[in-house]
Each structure stands twice: as structure tokens, then as C-alpha cells.
Amino acid sequence: MKQLLSIFILFALLGYGDFSFAETAVPVPPAANKGDTAWMIVATVLVILMVIPGLALFYGGMVRAKNMLSMLMQVFVIFSMMAILWAIYGYSIAFTEGNAFFGGLSKMFLKGITPDSLAATFSKAVYVPEYIYVAFQLTFAAITPALIIGAFAERVKFSAVLLFMFLWFTFSYLPMAHMVWYWTGPDAYTDASAAEAATATAGFLFQKGALDFAGGTVVHINAGIAGLIGCLMIGKRIGYRKESLAPHSVTMTMIGASLLWVGWFGFNVGSNLEANGLAALVFVNTLLASAAATLAWVGAEWLLRGKPSMLGGASGAVAGLVAITPACGWSGPMGAILLGLVAGAVCFWSVSMLKGALGYDDSLDAFGVHGVGGIIGALGTGIVASPSLGGTGVWDYVAGGVAEYSMIGQITSQAWGVGVCIIWSATVSFIAYKIVDMLIGLRVSEEVERAGLDVSEHGETAYHI
């Protein structure tokens, strides 16, 4: 009897189970999309390629031969140091909920992240593994401080560079990344009140509506301003405008710029987090803006200085890449060309005329290209994102469509981003340089500067010919 009863119960359960399966699907736990995951792994590798060896060679070629290794070494070690800091506390401060300026410490040491942890994308119910999101964002955190060294190349102590980068990363990069990029993800945007509640937990500039697709503000303006403050406080190189400080190998610089260009497809397209149609648009925008800026820089140079130079071509490509970075997910292809043309011409003006007129020695134009190009891109995003100019407009996750676009409103939001970034980065940089100068001194002695940083600071020579 007891046996019969249990068989009956078993049948009933099976029957009920079958029945319920047919009626309402058992909810599938959310999982990462394999295609998106594969793309993000590739994109992360591409951004690493931008830094080592891309940026290192781009900068290295522009210094004198006696300082070649110092550039390579600074980029190489900054990259490694930022990677570790990112895992210890950087990711947590940038990408967990906290206040509008700093995130929390709940994911310090990457606590609680497992292979099953998911990170939100820009589509509802689409995810990528959190580990690859951590790694992708790590590469951004690593390249940004490395960009700054171009401003004070050839005259700063290696130890001073590392200490400054630790301070600047902690108090400028992390809060800027949190302010611009931190949000809960699109799933929370179910209705107007839920959206409002979700947005209230996001970063300060996210709440202001500032758009920065891949880091025009967080990466380029942020680094450019830190560079400008640096070269103003550290002073000019010995022999500036008196002796020849010409690049020792424009060939290396061309190789570096080309690696930056290729890697930038990981930087910009990867920032889409999904391998979809929008990613393809970002790709096209990135390609066209850099090509347009190359032509604009070289053209301006040819017209005003008589000769088109390879260094100009390489610089133009980078200026275009910088300028399209914030806009690449919202601009149309023609908007990207426009942005590239403007960035190429204006950055040429800033490094060849503005710098001379103001008299600061931004050795490799970290401010002239990244700062100026970043500002053009950030403000220009407000223009080229407009659907009336072929842009995509801004997506409204509650309505499930493109929101009504106000160009004045968007440019105002963009100006908030630019303004906050300039003031924040300048303040943090100023204090950080002061601290480093007091503790270990920023600048090498005149003797060391004359001999070159390679042999004095690193005990080796780049070329034995």
C-alpha cells in the first residue's frame, strides 16, 4: 500500500512537472553570450597591443636616442603596475556602487568574482563574463597614465614617474571612470521611476548625461591635462628651442602609431561590449575619423609649412583616434569624417603654433594631441550624435527607442564632462606633482639629463651600433 502510494505520488509529480514545463518555461539563469565574450577577449588583447609596444614605440621614436629606453621602460612598468593596482582596488572603486564620485571597496582583490559572474552590456539581458570586463577595463586604466609621460619625457626620475602615477591613478583616473561610466546596466530601466532610481546610483557625469563611449574624457582629456600641468611644473628640457631635440627615429614612431591605430579598434569597438551592428558602426567611425585626421594634419602642414611629414601623418592619425573615441558609438560615418578633419587641423595648430606661443615644453604633445583632441571629441560628440546629422541619438531604455534629441542640451552635458575633468585632473595632478617633488624630487640633475636617462636611470643603452 505504501509502495503504491509512493508510485502514485511519483506519477503525479512527473505529470505535474511535464504539465508545468509545457505551460511556463523554467527560467534559464542568465549567461554570457559566447560571441560577445570571444570579441571582448580579442578586444582586450588589442588594447594591450596599443600600450605595449604601440604607445611605447610611438613615444620612444620621438625622443633622442639617449632616452629611448626610458620611454619604453616607463610605459612597460606603468602598464604592469596599473594592472596590479586595478586588481587590488582600482576595479572596485571605479565599477561598484558608492557615491557619485567614488565606488565602493566591496570588490577589492576582485572579491566575489567567479567565472559565472556577469557584467552588463548596453542591451537588456545580454551579458559578458565579469572577468573579461575587469581585464578590458584594466587595459584602459593602464594606458591612461602611460599617455601622460609624453608631456615630461626626457627629464623626469623613473621613481618620481611611478609614485606620481600611483597617486594620479588613485585620485584622478578611478573617480573619473566612476563618474562617467558607472551605472547599474540596462536591466534596471524597466519604467520611468525605476530608471530614475537606477540613474541616481550612477556616476556624477553619467547622471549629467555626458556621453563618453570609449574614454575621450576619462582617458584623453584626463591624461592630457595631467600632462600639461606636469610640463608646466617640471619646466622645459635643457636646450629647448636652442639645441636639436629632434626625434631619433620617426620610423619607430610610425610603427607605434600604426599599432595604436590597429589596437584602437579594440579600444573603441570593444567599448560596445557586444559584437553587433553598433559595433560595426563604431569600427567604421574609428577608421574614417583617423583617416580624415591624417589627411587634415598632413594637408595643413603641407599648406603652411611647405612639406608633408611622416611625423605629421602619424600624429594626425592619433589625433583623429582620440577625437572619435567619445563619439564613436553615437556618430554616423560622415560625422566621424567631420570630427576627424577638425581634430587633425586643430591638433596640428595646437602643437605647432599654440605650444610655441605659450612656451611650455610638452615634449611629445600629450596635451596638444590627447588633451586638445579629447576636448574636440567630447564637445563634438554633442553635435555628431544628433540624428539630424546622421548620428544615432541617445537610446531611451524605458521607451525602447531613440529619445528626442536636443543638441544644445547634449552639448551642455558634454561641457559638464569636459569642465569637471579639466578641474579634477588639474587639481589632483598639481597636488600629486607637489607631493612627489617634496618626497623624491621630480627632475633629474642637469648632468643626468645631458647624459640621457637610459644610461643614468636604467644602466643600459638602446643601440649598440
Partner 1 sequence: MKLITAVVKPFKLDDVREALSDIGVSGVTVTEVKGFGRQKGHTELYRGAEYVVDFLPKAKIEVAVADTMLDQAVEAITKAANTGKIGDGKIFVTDLEQVVRIRTGETGEEAL
- The CA angle 372-182-278, to the nearest 5 degrees, is 70
154 binding partner 1? (CB under 8 A): no
Q: Which residues contact 355 (CB under 8 A, 6 or more apart)?
A: 362, 365, 368
Q: Segment contacting partner 1 (CB under 8 A): 13-21, 170-178, 349-357, 402-410?
A: 349-357
Q: Segment contacting partner 1 (CB under 8 A): 258-266, 351-359, 397-405, 411-419?
A: 351-359
Strand 401-402 to 127-129 pairing: unpaired
Residues 33-72, mask of contacts with partner 1 (x by CB under 8 A): -----------------------------x----------
Q: How far apart are the first and last CA of the chain?
A: 97
Q: Which is nearer to partner 1, 288 or 314 (CB)?
A: 314
- Cell 556577469 locates to 118
Q: How near is the Cβ of 451 to partner 1 at its closest, in Å? A: 21
Residues 182-221, mask of contacts with partner 1 (x by CB under 8 A): ----------------------------------------
359 binding partner 1? (CB under 8 A): no
Nearest to 381 by CA among 417, 420, 355: 417
Q: Which residues contact 79 (CB under 8 A, 6 or more apart)?
A: 51, 52, 142, 143, 146
Q: Is the omega angle on the peptide bond into residue 53 within 30 degrees of 0, that is, cis?
A: yes
| From 137, 294, 325, 352, residue interacting with partner 1 (rule: CB under 8 A) | 352
Q: What phi and psi values does residue 32 have, to the nearest 5 degrees? A: -70, 145
Q: How near is the Cβ of 354 to partner 1 at its closest, in Å? A: 9
Q: How near is the Cβ of 152 to partner 1 at its closest, in Å? A: 16
Q: Which residues contact 333 (CB under 8 A, 6 or more apart)?
A: 281, 284, 285, 288, 390
Q: How near is the Cβ of 313 to partner 1 at its closest, in Å? A: 12
Q: Which is nearer to partner 1, 244 or 388 (CB)?
A: 244
Nearest to 119 by CA among 11, 273, 244: 273
465 binding partner 1? (CB under 8 A): no
H or E stretch covering 401: strand 401-402
Q: What phi and psi values does residue 395 have, to the nearest 5 degrees? A: -75, 135
Q: Which of residues 314-333 bind partner 1 (CB under 8 A)?
A: 315
DSSP for 380-412, written as a single string: HHHHHT-GGGT----EETTTTEEPP--HHHHHH
Q: Which of residues 290-319 bind partner 1 (CB under 8 A)?
A: 305, 307, 309, 311-312, 315
Q: Return left, alpha or beta for 337; rule: phi > 0 is left, psi -120 to 50 is alpha, else beta.
A: alpha
Q: Segment contacting partner 1 (CB under 8 A): 35-43, 119-127, 208-216, 348-356?
A: 348-356
Q: How near is the Cβ of 393 to partner 1 at its closest, in Å? A: 37
Q: Which is nearer to partner 1, 249 or 410 (CB)?
A: 249
Q: How near is the Cβ of 463 to partner 1 at its closest, in Å? A: 17
- What is the grid cell recorded at 156? 623626469
Strand 118-120 to 127-129 pairing: antiparallel
Q: What phi and psi values does residue 24 have, to the nearest 5 degrees? A: -130, 125
| From 13, 353, 403, 440, residue interacting with partner 1 (rule: CB under 8 A) | 353
Number of residues that bind partner 1 (CB under 8 A): 19
Q: Which is nearer to partner 1, 3 or 244 (CB)?
A: 244
| From 351, 375, 384, 422, residue interacting with partner 1 (rule: CB under 8 A) | 351
| From 60, 145, 247, 391, residue interacting with partner 1 (rule: CB under 8 A) | 247
Q: Which is nearer to partner 1, 13 or 246 (CB)?
A: 246
| From 36, 154, 212, 365, residue interacting with partner 1 (rule: CB under 8 A) | 365
| From 112, 356, 359, 401, residue interacting with partner 1 (rule: CB under 8 A) | 356
Residue 351 and residue 369: Cα distance in Å, rounded?
A: 7
| From 9, 38, 125, 246, residue interacting with partner 1 (rule: CB under 8 A) | 246
Residue 88 and residue 37: Cα distance in Å, rounded?
A: 24
Q: Which residues contact 236 (CB under 8 A, 6 or more apart)?
A: 360, 361
Q: Which is nearer to partner 1, 304 or 435 (CB)?
A: 304
Question: Would you call 376 helix, strand, or coil by DSSP?
Answer: helix
Q: Which is nearer to partner 1, 32 or 245 (CB)?
A: 245
Residue 106 and residue 366: Cα distance in Å, rounded?
A: 34
Contact 360, 228 (CB under 8 A): yes
| Chain contacts with partner 1 (rule: CB under 8 A) | 62, 241, 244-247, 305, 307, 309, 311-312, 315, 351-353, 355-356, 365, 368
